[in-house]
């Protein structure tokens, strides 16, 4: 091998060693890359917030919590088993009428010593068919329905779940509370048919 070829090989190897040394100093493994890139992203986002104040700043706001009214709807001493009473809740507006009944059997959400006093919206959840006067006793069952439109029926002992018919949502249940002999409606479970919210905005009477 000639001297010139030896010199070329030596120079080439020296350059490769130098390059490898430089790469060894700056090359990152995968873990380091992910760590540094994450830190860079975090830094960038911090800088962007500093450079553009208010662009991504969360403003503090108080949540608006609206409670249901506590409304006197009857007296326990005046109720007879399986004789329903028509009430209005949560207001006296459209679609607010409901059926309250002392079933004589334990019910989901029932109040009283026998947990048998419940109340439900008197409108079918399918198309709003009227359920007033549609409460009945069938053996051990307590049923609301059938709806005159599409024959939907509901089990009032189990939170108004659908038994049969076209409806696919449970009957909205009025939550009750007993204070001695007085019965109060205090809330709703489920959306009243025909409303986009149970608590309608207050209107000023002229």
Does the annotation count 159 as an active-site position? no
Report d(CA 200, CA 66) in Å as an integer. Answer: 11
Determine which one of 23, 141, 150, 159 is catalytic: 150
Residue 197 CB contacts under 8 Å (≥ 6 apart), including other chains = 191
**Catalytic site residue from 23, 126, 141, 159:** 126
Burial of 85-119, coded b for 16+ CB within 10 Å and e otherwise, reads bebbbbbeeebbbbbbbbbebebebbbbeeebbbb
Distance CA 100, CA 145 (A): 14
Active-site residue flag, 126? yes
Q: What residues are annotated to the active site?
A: 126, 150
């Amino acid at each position: 091998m000639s001297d010139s070829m030896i010199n070329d090989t030596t120079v080439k190897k020296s350059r490769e060693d130098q390059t490898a040394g430089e790469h060894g100093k700056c090359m990152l493994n995968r873990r380091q890359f992910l760590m540094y890139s994450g830190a860079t992203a975090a830094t960038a986002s911090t800088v962007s917030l500093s450079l553009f104040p208010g662009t991504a700043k969360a403003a503090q706001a108080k949540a608006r919590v609206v409670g249901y009214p506590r409304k006197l709807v009857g007296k326990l001493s005046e109720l007879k088993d399986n004789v329903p009473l028509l009430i209005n809740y949560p207001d006296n507006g459209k679609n607010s009428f409901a059926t309250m009944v002392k079933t004589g059997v334990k019910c989901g959400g029932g109040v009283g010593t026998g947990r048998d006093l419940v109340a439900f919206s008197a409108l079918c959840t399918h198309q709003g068919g009227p359920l007033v006067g549609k409460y009945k006793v069938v053996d051990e069952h307590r049923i609301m329905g059938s709806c005159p439109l599409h024959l939907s029926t509901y089990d009032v002992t189990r939170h108004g779940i659908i038994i049969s018919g076209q409806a696919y949502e449970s009957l909205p249940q009025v939550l009750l509370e007993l204070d001695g002999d007085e019965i109060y409606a205090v809330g709703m479970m489920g959306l009243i048919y025909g409303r986009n919210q149970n608590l309608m905005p207050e209107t000023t009477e002229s």
